[in-house]
Amino acid sequence: MTMSRLADRVALVFGAGSVGPGWGNGKASAVAYARAGARVVCVDINRSAAEETVGIIRGEGGTAEALACDVTKLLEVEDVVARTGALFGPVDILHNNVGHAKMGGPPDLSEDEWRREMDLNVTGMFLACKVVIPTMQARGRGVITNISSSAGIRYVGYPYTSYYAAKGAVNQFTVGVALQYARDGIRCNAILPGLMDTPLIYQQISVQYASPDDMVKARHEATPMGRMGTGWDVANAAVFLASDEASYINAVCLPVDGGFTARCA
């Protein structure tokens, strides 16, 4: 395991498990942080998914602990941050990866479904920042990385209005946090994954296609580079943004999409 870029730093990763076999964005990012030397707290609503990620990190000689949390519950987020401090010390890197895509336009969704999408995609990031930012202010430093989506800036071909709205909100939430707390030594950026080949798409996106194979083929073809990205593309960007090499990068919404959002048609 390579340990240098993030040595002695504490990374708190919300959404560090995976919804299925393979490498999701959060799982890959947690492992990548550990490979760069960070001590990682892997948080997921499904504790066994977080424990799987921790097992990988420990198997490579890294340091990690697993915790369970519903990011839409303030008391649970507060507990996770407190337990992180007790385990490893104050949070240096806050990585917000929880998200969900619900198909349907306004007539198709109930009010509860709409609110749930806002809570999962936006409120969880707000609560994590609400709890962690004061600890970063007290120390005069910190990095926050929010995982958004290309859907936050473009229509990407899927009928999920609530997801477009939520990810657009994540982008401007990121900018607002970044600028408000820049003088406190806190940097906040967002990563906007494009068409990625992660376990999530087989659960939340594949229903739009005749078969999973059709989905994979169509998504490969829709990307300028001719292939989808992976969780590791997001993870590599996250490690860079958390490192000292990115010390003057703030308030950026960074597409990691193979050029997908730069294309008009």
**Identified catalytic residue from 33, 163, 164, 181:** 163
Q: CA angle at residue 17 from 27 to 65, to 5 degrees?
A: 90
Q: Is 187 among the domain residues?
A: yes
Please state, in angstroms and rounded to a whole number, the distance separating the CA atoms of residues 110 and 113.
5
Residue range(s) defining the domain that contains residue 52: 10-254
Q: Is 80 among the domain residues?
A: yes
Per-residue pLDDT at 204: 86
Per-residue pLDDT at 33: 98
pLDDT digits (tens, 9 = 90+) for 52-91: 999 999 999 999 999 999 999 999 999 999 999 999 999 9
Per-residue pLDDT at 265: 62
Q: What one-character-per-residue DSSP string does 99-130 give?
A: -----B-TTTS-HHHHHHHHIIIIIHHHHHHH
Residue 174 burial class via C-beta count within 10 angstroms: exposed 0-12, middle 13-18, buried 19 and up: buried
Are the beta carbons of 98 and 43 closer than 8 angstroms? no
pLDDT digits (tens, 9 = 90+) for 150-178: 999 999 999 999 999 999 999 999 999 99
Catalytic, 163? Answer yes
Q: Is-above-0.75 flag for pTM?
A: yes
The residue with greater pLDDT, 149 or 204, is: 149
**CATH code of residue 152:** 3.40.50.720
SS3 state of residue 16: coil
CA distance readout (Å), 263 to 101, 164, 168, 257, 259: 23, 18, 19, 11, 7
Specify the number of domains making up the chain: 1
